Amino acid sequence: MTADQVYVGLGLIVVLAVGSQLLASRLRVPALLVLLPAGFTAGALTDDVDPQRLLGASFSPLVSLAVAVILYDAGLGLDLKRLKGHNRRVVIRLLWLGALLTVVSAALFAVPVLDMSAQAAVMLAAILVVSGPTVVGPLLAFVRPTERLQRILVWEGSLIDPVGGILGALVFHGVLAGSRPGFGSGLGHFLASAALGVGAGAVGAGVLWLVLWRVRIGEELATSVQLAAVIGVAAACDALRDDTGLISAVVMGMAMANLPGLELPTRRPFFETLVSLIIGLLFVSISATVTPASLRHVVLPSLALVALLVLVTRPLIAHLAAARTDVPVRERWFVGWMAPRGIVAAATASTFSAELAAHHIGGAERILPATFVVIVATVMLYGLTAFPVARRLGVLRSARSRPLLVGGAPWAVDLACALRTAGLDVLMWAGADEERARIEAAGLELAPGELLASAEGIGMVLEGITDVLLLTGEDDFNALASLTLRESVEGTVRRLAPSAASEGAVAPYAGGEPLFGAGLTRPEIARKHAAGARVVTRPAAGPPAPREQVLFVVRPQGWLVPVTDNERPEPVPGDTLVLLREP
């Protein structure tokens, strides 16, 4: 290819990747629904979008390293201390039962139907184990199932990516080892590959942990150091033994998430942006390599495989995983109707299928197009049916607001009790023991854990929270928390206005519209409450009295509307007013 064609091809891939993700966000659909058709169409209509021609022999190593970055990022979410409570058993069963039954059923089905050898069928089945949060997350955000379902499925999706990555890499090396003459020799190669990936990942995590722990560096440089470490270790492993870098990347991510004495940043804007871009580039590039000719004899058998996985395997996994637990039957059926395949399946299929085909494994050339069909079919099926299925099963989350009040001052507890009286499900959090005791004494639900540490992780306490009200006595904390939590809740994050004489380092300069308007600051509310003012509720019948100030309006549907300088909701019959009433 000429230099001009290379420029055009690479530019088109980047534009298609970002443009598809932008379009998907506007349409509120999973990005895969746009990325895969865009890449496939571009690959079919033009020779410029052909990554194998553009990059040549570099394409497969680049895909492998890109998947290593994605798996490392997924591994960082695997803080095992967070997987606890009554959902732990269900999630763990979904992982091991899901992997076992998917591999067995898909492999047995693929041998006769897709005309594959046993080795290629097992490889395809191992690839199809993964689902992934990049697919499940947007679907759940659109469907809004109950908190318990959200938590179970998010945990499963986050854990199955690295688990599936490890399983895929181990099966890949097992298949290659089995193709070599002599069982002992093949087993030795398999164990050597697994040991190399695990050992290198552990050593890499140890070195990275020491660097981040002993050397004082900023968040941006720490992110760059992590990126360099995971790519360096994965590249070294792949250079020694093909595709062992995936194992090392997952091990590094899991180790970094669970090693003691190290607080990794919960928000990693550059890393998150990079992973999002990598996902888009990979989907466009990989789908462009799937030609119409390669799909000709694969589509119908692959759709039959989808029917098996969707209608038989996944429901069976869900019911077995929830057996002898308190998960209701309706929620078990919804868990059984949520298993789309995502980026790791596509990337590992692209990486492994070419290598297995080069080793003359029968049917290996069908692994990538079959995976492509399964991804497209499952994402479209679940994307189009998840909401009506959830509504039919009655597992949708309530449309009523569920506010989280942060702070345990007497007036804040008084406000929480008033909101509860108005019919809202209120959650509170406070750091001081005295404030937490005051909250519990009022009979209010107290959120566990450290707010900012847990608010951003998988299984966070903010699942189901629609509004966050920052009411603590620390203006800087309120300002910083409003910036940190803004993207972690579905609704709004609001804070009290700092006092006019505030000398905080952040509060006077942080943006965002304050609660109750600039005049009703935190010190002013505390002063009025100490003087006898109380937070009360009453139906919206007539204007407020002279010594009453409206703080919130609760609509009949249970929607919480705060009062601010620019937002003065007009009460209508049926509303409930939450007021600060002075004596």
Confidence band for 390, pLDDT divided at 50, 70 and 90: very high
Structural domain of 147: 58-264+290-393
- 204 within a domain of the structure (yes/no): yes
Instruction: Evaluate if residue 404 carries a pLDDT over 70.
Output: yes
Based on the domain organization, do 502 and 539 belong to the same domain?
A: yes
Residue 460 has a pLDDT of 44
Of 241-255, 430-444, 450-464, 478-492, the least confident:
450-464
Task: Considering only CA atoms, give the Rg of the chain.
Answer: 27
Based on the domain organization, do 510 and 389 belong to the same domain?
A: no
**Rounded Cα gap, residues 381 and 377, in angstroms:** 6
Based on the domain organization, do 307 and 380 belong to the same domain?
A: yes
What does the pLDDT average to over 338-349?
A: 82
pLDDT tens-place string over residues 344-381: 788 788 878 888 888 888 888 899 899 989 988 998 89
- The CATH number given to whatever domain includes residue 533 is 3.40.50.720
Based on the domain organization, do 368 and 439 belong to the same domain?
A: no
For 62, the token pair is: 């680049």
Give the residue ranges of DSSP H helices in 336-407: 343-358, 367-393
Establish how many alpha carbons lie within 13 A of residue 81's alpha carbon, considering only the half-sphere containing its beta carbon: 10
User: Which of these, 153, 117, 115, lies nearest to 135 by C-alpha position?
Assistant: 153
Based on the domain organization, do 560 and 484 belong to the same domain?
A: yes
Q: Are 140 and 339 in contact (CB under 8 A)?
A: no
Confidence band for 236, pLDDT divided at 50, 70 and 90: very high
pLDDT tens-place string over residues 246-293: 778 878 888 887 777 666 654 455 677 787 888 888 888 888 888 888
Last residue of a domain, one of 359, 393, 427: 393
* Residues shown for the chain: 583
Could you give the number of structural domains in the chain?
2
Report the share of the chain in percent with pLDDT over 90. 19
pLDDT tens-place string over residues 145-203: 887 888 788 778 777 876 776 777 778 877 877 665 444 455 566 677 778 888 999 99
pLDDT tens-place string over residues 501-519: 655 555 555 555 678 865 7
Report in angstroms the alpha-carbon separations of 7 from 15, 35, 47, 56: 12, 21, 13, 15
**Rounded Cα gap, residues 571 and 202, in angstroms:** 60
What does the pLDDT average to over 370-399?
A: 88
**Rounded Cα gap, residues 111 and 54, in angstroms:** 34
Confidence band for 459, pLDDT divided at 50, 70 and 90: very low
Residue 454 has a pLDDT of 43
Confidence band for 101, pLDDT divided at 50, 70 and 90: very high
pLDDT tens-place string over residues 9-62: 889 999 999 998 888 878 777 777 788 888 888 888 888 888 878 887 788 788
- 47 within a domain of the structure (yes/no): no
Q: Is the pTM of this model over 0.75?
A: no
Q: How far does CA 116 lie from the centroid of its chain?
A: 34
**Rounded Cα gap, residues 345 and 286, in angstroms:** 11
**Rounded Cα gap, residues 53 and 308, in angstroms:** 36
Based on the domain organization, do 412 and 377 belong to the same domain?
A: no
Based on the domain organization, do 459 and 500 belong to the same domain?
A: yes
Residue 390's SS3 state is helix
For 365, the token pair is: 């050339």
- 9 within a domain of the structure (yes/no): no
| Most confident stretch, 368-382, 397-411, 476-490, 566-580 | 368-382
- 11 within a domain of the structure (yes/no): no
- 111 within a domain of the structure (yes/no): yes
SS3 string of 201-235? HHHHHHHHHHHHHHCCCCHHHHHHHHHHHHHHHHH
Based on the domain organization, do 518 and 389 belong to the same domain?
A: no
For 277, the token pair is: 């871009």
Q: At what angle do helices 343-358 and 269-289 cross, to 10 degrees?
A: 50
- 520 within a domain of the structure (yes/no): yes
State the residue for tokens 């591994």: 75
- The CATH number given to whatever domain includes residue 148 is 1.20.1530.10
Sheet with 560-562: strands ordered across = 534-539, 576-581, 548-554, 560-562
List Cβ neighbours of 87 (8 Å cut-off, separation of 6 or more). 148, 151, 152, 155
Based on the domain organization, do 371 and 476 belong to the same domain?
A: no
Confidence band for 485, pLDDT divided at 50, 70 and 90: confident
Q: Which residue has better confidence, 522 or 153?
A: 153
The Cα angle at residue 431 between residues 451 and 514, in degrees rounded to 5: 70
- 43 within a domain of the structure (yes/no): no
Last residue of a domain, one of 355, 371, 393: 393
What does the pLDDT average to over 437-452?
A: 78
Instruction: Evaluate if residue 315 carries a pLDDT over 90.
Output: yes
Q: Which residue has better confidence, 273 or 105?
A: 105
Based on the domain organization, do 358 and 412 belong to the same domain?
A: no
449 Rama sector, left if φ>0, alpha if ψ -120 to 50, beta otherwise = left
Residue 179 has a pLDDT of 60
- 355 within a domain of the structure (yes/no): yes
For 540, the token pair is: 């919206």
Last residue of a domain, one of 358, 393, 428: 393
Average pLDDT over the chain reads: 81
Residue 449 has a pLDDT of 58
Based on the domain organization, do 129 and 200 belong to the same domain?
A: yes
Number of Cβ within a 10 Å radius of residue 487:
10
Based on the domain organization, do 324 and 459 belong to the same domain?
A: no
User: Which of these, 354, 332, 457, lies nearest to 61 by C-alpha position?
Assistant: 354
The Cα angle at residue 79 between residues 316 and 205, in degrees rounded to 5: 120
Backbone phi, psi, residue 499, to 5°: -65, 155
Instruction: Evaluate if residue 7 carries a pLDDT over 80.
Output: yes
Instruction: Evaluate if residue 207 carries a pLDDT over 80.
Output: yes
What does the pLDDT average to over 399-411?
A: 85
